[in-house]
């Protein structure tokens, strides 16, 4: 049976939680700004409904959480433990008979909680959101094409395809007196038709035109072509793969079946979804161990250490993925490489801190700082 949460445990959690929440909000806002500018083009330049763009923004968040949750946890633990160390509160706790393991108990509980949330995101929410993102994007482009049914409106329904209809019929979807401009490498093409009708076709939409003519002019020195037709079918491509989702968009159950069948990409995806939540435990232990120090350095130390740890983690992750895709490493080893490497570093740092011994880089930094101070203030500390 778990012991009730002590006052000191709640105190450490109150040091970590505000930074965790604030970091998550700030990082999410920064990363979403880029997507916001891209998706705003659907509203401003393409005429997509604002509601669809807001849904796309909401569906993009689950893809960010597996990255932001471990990062926010690491930064929160580093800053919290660094603040407790700088104010000598950790020393007081140790003097009261609390071991390092007892000091880190709230950090472990917080790491497990963040791991569970991250695991739910990677295993369930992220694949569903990725699939829903593609479906909403498809519907947004479909709605954008349907805007061409508004009489008297020029609409760029796809790249290089502009549609204009003089009159419309909302019930039947028939467009009257249609004008279409196609921008092609060989020259622009203008199409005039008495009427047209939109209908789904394969990976796009088909615009069936009747009783019209096509004009093409390739430029100076090239012939001008004019072609009359009774029926002409124009396919409008849509940027979607909803009928054949990638492995990152597939449910975890589907990925598990593909991994058991021996597919390398499915094995890498499955272990990636498992390794990212486990990284929360590594970051919690490593951040707590690195955050404990004997100096009075400020928050800058925690921020610098956070950046260094993240740089090492994602460098190892990129290396592992590259080696895994090339077949140099098994998918399991490739995706768990960052956790294994930083996990070993976390255990080493924890054992050193439990003996109240500084880490190697801390000793080197202390010697370097002492030399700098002696050169800046020569003679200080000498006997008169």
Tell me the pLDDT tens digit for each residue of 224-260.
888 888 888 877 665 544 445 678 888 899 999 999 9
Residues 369 and 317 in one domain: yes
CA distance 120 to 252: 11
Question: Number of structural domains, the chain?
Answer: 2
Whether 242 maps to a domain, the answer reads: no
Domain endpoint, select from 237, 272, 301: 237
Residues 206 and 319 in one domain: no
47: left (phi over 0), alpha (psi -120 to 50) or beta: left
Residues 122 and 164 in one domain: no
CA distance 292 to 314: 24
Bridge-based pairing state of the strands 174-184 and 155-158:
unpaired
Residues 222 and 305 in one domain: no
User: 156-197 pLDDT, tens per residue?
Assistant: 666 677 888 888 776 666 888 888 888 776 678 888 998 887
Residues 190 and 168 in one domain: yes
Residues 18 and 127 in one domain: yes
User: 84-130 pLDDT, tens per residue?
Assistant: 887 777 777 777 777 778 888 899 999 999 999 999 999 999 888 88
CA distance 271 to 380: 57
Residues 66 and 103 in one domain: yes
Whether 249 maps to a domain, the answer reads: no
C-alpha torsion angle, residues 163, 164, 170, 173 (rounded to 10): -50
Q: Give whichever of 35-39, 79-83, 136-140 has the largest mean pLDDT.
A: 79-83
SS3 content of the chain, % helix, strand, coil (to 5): 60, 15, 20
Residues 126 and 275 in one domain: yes
Residues 220 and 274 in one domain: no
Number of residues assigned to the chain: 384
With contact defined as beta carbons under 8 Å apart, do 43 and 99 qualify? Answer: no
Residues 25 and 157 in one domain: no
Count Cβ atoms within 10 A of the Cβ of residue 139 and give its class: 0-12 exposed, 13-18 middle, 19 or more buried: middle
Alpha carbon 31 to its chain's center: 8
Q: Which domain holds residue 152?
A: 148-237
Whether 384 maps to a domain, the answer reads: no
With contact defined as beta carbons under 8 Å apart, do 234 and 191 qualify? Answer: yes
Residues 48 and 194 in one domain: no
Residues 267 and 136 in one domain: yes
Domain endpoint, select from 237, 272, 293: 237
């Amino acid at each position: 049976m778990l012991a009730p949460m002590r006052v000191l445990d709640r105190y450490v959690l109150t040091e970590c939680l505000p930074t965790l929440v604030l970091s998550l909000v700030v990082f999410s806002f920064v990363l979403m700004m880029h997507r916001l500018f891209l998706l705003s083009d659907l509203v401003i330049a393409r005429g997509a409904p604002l509601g669809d763009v807001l849904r796309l923004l909401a569906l993009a968040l689950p893809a960010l959480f597996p990255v932001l949750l471990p990062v926010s946890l690491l930064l929160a633990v580093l800053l919290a433990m660094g603040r407790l160390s700088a104010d000598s509160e950790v020393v007081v706790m140790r003097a009261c008979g609390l071991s390092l393991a007892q000091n880190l108990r709230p950090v472990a509980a917080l790491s497990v909680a963040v791991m569970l949330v991250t695991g739910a995101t990677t295993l369930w929410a992220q694949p569903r959101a990725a699939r829903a993102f593609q479906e909403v994007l498809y519907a947004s482009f479909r709605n954008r094409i349907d805007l061409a049914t508004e009489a008297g409106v020029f609409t760029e329904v796809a790249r290089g395809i502009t549609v204009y209809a003089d009159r419309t019929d909302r019930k039947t979807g028939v467009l009257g007196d249609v004008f279409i401009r196609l921008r092609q490498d060989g020259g622009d093409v203008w199409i005039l038709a008495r009427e047209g009708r939109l209908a789904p076709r394969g990976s796009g939409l088909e615009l069936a035109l009747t009783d019209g003519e096509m004009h093409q002019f390739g430029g100076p020195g090239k012939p001008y072509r004019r072609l009359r037709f009774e029926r002409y079918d124009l396919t409008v491509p849509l940027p979607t793969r909803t009928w054949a989702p990638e492995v990152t968009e597939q449910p975890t159950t589907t990925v598990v079946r593909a991994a058991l069948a021996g597919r390398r990409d499915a094995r890498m995806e499955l272990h990636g979804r498992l390794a990212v939540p486990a990284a929360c435990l590594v970051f919690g232990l490593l951040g707590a161990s690195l955050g404990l120090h004997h100096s009075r350095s400020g928050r800058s130390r925690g921020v610098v250490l956070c950046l260094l740890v993240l740089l090492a983690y994602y460098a190892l992750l990129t290396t592992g993925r590259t080696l895994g895709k090339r077949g140099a490493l098994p998918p399991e080893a490739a995706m768990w490489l960052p956790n294994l490497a930083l996990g070993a570093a976390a255990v080493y740092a924890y054992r050193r801190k439990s003996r109240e011994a500084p880490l190697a880089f801390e000793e080197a930094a202390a010697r370097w700082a002492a030399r700098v101070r002696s050169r800046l203030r020569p003679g200080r500390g000498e006997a008169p």
